Amino acid sequence: MEKRVIPVKTVERLVLYKRLLRDILAKGESSLYSHQLAKMANNTPAQVRRDLMMIGYAGGTPRKGYQTQELIDRIIQILDESKEQKIVLVGIGNLGRAILSYFSFQQPGFTIAAAFDSDESKTNRVIAGCRCYHLREFAEKIKETDAKLGVITVPAQHAQQVADMMIECGIKGILNFAPIPLKVPDNVFIDRIDITMALEKVAYLAG
Amino acid sequence: MEKRVIPVKTVERLVLYKRLLRDILAKGESSLYSHQLAKMANNTPAQVRRDLMMIGYAGGTPRKGYQTQELIDRIIQILDESKEQKIVLVGIGNLGRAILSYFSFQQPGFTIAAAFDSDESKTNRVIAGCRCYHLREFAEKIKETDAKLGVITVPAQHAQQVADMMIECGIKGILNFAPIPLKVPDNVFIDRIDITMALEKVAYLAG
DNA sequence: AATTACCCGTGAAACAATTCACATTGTTAT
DNA sequence: ATAACAATGTGAATTGTTTCACGGGTAATT
Ligand SMILES: NC(=O)c1ccc[n+]([C@@H]2O[C@H](COP(=O)([O-])OP(=O)(O)OC[C@H]3O[C@@H](n4cnc5c(N)ncnc54)[C@H](O)[C@@H]3O)[C@@H](O)[C@H]2O)c1
Ligand SMILES: NC(=O)c1ccc[n+]([C@@H]2O[C@H](COP(=O)([O-])OP(=O)(O)OC[C@H]3O[C@@H](n4cnc5c(N)ncnc54)[C@H](O)[C@@H]3O)[C@@H](O)[C@H]2O)c1
């Protein structure tokens, strides 16, 4: 029962800050102010400072702001990106393939170690550098790769059984693209990206 | 300055409820209780009732619960899904194509009216039933289709200029898949889906 | 050296979302 | 009929998040 100290909302913003800070650094800016980061992140200086307070960072100085590199390092340390994260993906359809190709030649820190599908015509080949297996080989391959994260891109009606299988095989975190909430035990973290819901929301709020 | 009465979080759940209720109805259940819907939505009966209260729905009865069809109708009415929503998509890459094919033969209520890319090799053809044009034809085609919603699936460094162009052409709602926040005027609603951020969050919270 | 301007860190206040808890009410059983 | 029950609708309490506002400090300016 570990106590979660950093709010999820803050974690989300930290991931964003890290990316923005890297852009900053690439532009040669070795230090910055909270209001500069806030502007890029579309939030407020107070929120930036509060977020940094949440991770126990107090390395800013009034007239020079924060050291870009130092701040990046601190965020990386908090997010614990010391080791490469191994991911397995189930559902080699349109969306699954888009994700495979994106992570194949980008995204340091994350590797899709293997992909699976129940359709024989999608398996036993390499897509975007990722080996694709039949679902029946899941348990075996996951032991080989020692992946702890899973991505679900199968149709909604099969998503729960895929999640169950992942958890059975030791997956601890799941990103679910199927448009239904899945039941998972407390020790597994799950997040859902629901593209259709996001569009409906935009349609409503734009109206 | 219109007053927004329904919280965004509630809107998100309403979209989910609507889908779940349709599944319920398809199974032949003509009525249901808040705790049943809550179980499917992975939340609490109190939250379901609160959400329904937000949309001014008080048609439940203590012993019979809610009428499935009536509730669906009410949610649809609130979300204002009377007319087909026209969408334009910019960035016919891996993710863009996945979205095109998904919405082509699914998703009642939404039509991707046209897609655009700056790469000539991606344009002047039909992908998943959607016509693909060069970006220079954007203004012209958007007038023809009268689309009010836009989806951005271009690389991050081009996302802001694409958003600016969309807004210039009268787009009122944008769904942005590029991993940076975009600046838009107050009268335009924008939402971002950041897949990499979601994965980093899962990695952190699963750890 | 003193003055000024600016920004950080954070306690406190304000605001937003969720959960609690209960009076109310329709349904069923006796 | 009437009693017992089970689920609704909602005010109040709680919990979570964001914003305010100010003390303290640092560097540039005079
Ligand atoms: N593509 C999009 O833009 C989009 C938008 C909104 C939601 N989604 C959701 O994302 C998910 C995937 O969408 P898609 O467009 O890639 O669909 P898709 O039909 O192209 O791909 C689904 C893949 O899953 C495989 N599959 C089916 N059952 C399986 C099982 N039990 N085990 C393993 N593999 C299985 C299929 O063989 C297929 O390859 C769906 O749940 C969909 O609702 C996608
Ligand atoms: N595919 C994924 O799984 C994934 C994951 C995380 C984030 N993203 C983000 O989604 C976006 C799209 O990803 P993708 O994998 O489809 O990339 P992609 O490179 O496959 O596609 C990008 C497309 O945008 C087009 N483009 C570039 N500049 C343009 C411009 N100014 N106007 C019009 N079109 C232009 C390119 O020609 C290309 O067709 C990127 O911002 C990426 O960071 C994608």
Tens digits of per-residue pLDDT, A27-47? 999 999 999 999 999 999 999
Closest CA to the C1' of D21: that residue is A46
Assign B1 a pLDDT band (cuts: 50, 70, 90). very low
Question: Is it the case that residue A129 has pLDDT exceeding 50?
Answer: yes
Our measurement of CA A39 to C1' C15, in angstroms, reads 22
For the beta carbon of residue B132, count every other beta carbon within 10 angstroms.
Answer: 20
- pLDDT tens for each residue of B148-181: 999 999 999 999 999 999 999 999 999 999 999 9
- Per-residue CA distances from A167 to A183, B87, B96 (Å): 11, 37, 31
Q: Distance between CA A34 and CA B91 in Å, rounded?
A: 33
Secondary structure letter of residue B137 according to DSSP: G
Give mean pLDDT, residues A156-161. Answer: 98
pLDDT computed for residue A82 by the predictor: 86
Q: Of B181, B194, B202, which is closest to A189 when you measure between CB atoms?
A: B202
The gap between the terminal CA atoms of chain A, to the nearest Å, is 44
Residue A177's SS3 state is coil
Nucleic chain C contacts, Cβ below 7 Å: A 33-35, 45-46, 49-50, 52-53, 57-63, 65-66; B 7-10, 43-44, 46-47, 49-50, 61-64
Instruction: Identify the three-state secondary structure at position B194.
Output: coil
Inter-chain residue contact A199 with B151, CB threshold 8 Å: yes
Query: Please, what are the domains in chain A?
Result: 3-79 (1.10.10.10), 85-198 (3.40.50.720)
Give Cα A87 distance to the centre of its chain.
Answer: 10
Question: In this predicted model, which residue has the larger pLDDT, A109 or A89?
Answer: A89
Tens-place pLDDT, residues B182-199? 999 999 999 999 999 999
Chain B neighbours among A 112-141 (CB < 8 Å)? none
Question: Over 90: is that where the pLDDT of A2 sits?
Answer: no
The conformation of residue A108, written as its DSSP 8-state character, comes to T
A130-147 pLDDT, tens digit each = 999 999 999 999 999 999
Q: Is the pTM of this model over 0.85?
A: yes
> Which residues in chain B are closer than 8 Å to A98, comparing Cβ atoms?
93-95, 97-98
By mean pLDDT, which of A2-11, A63-72, A116-125, B88-97 is the weakest?
Answer: A2-11
DSSP A56: T
Residue B176: strand pairing partners:
B152, B192
Cβ–Cβ gap A173/B85 under 8 Å = no
Cβ contact A162:A91 at 8 Å:
yes
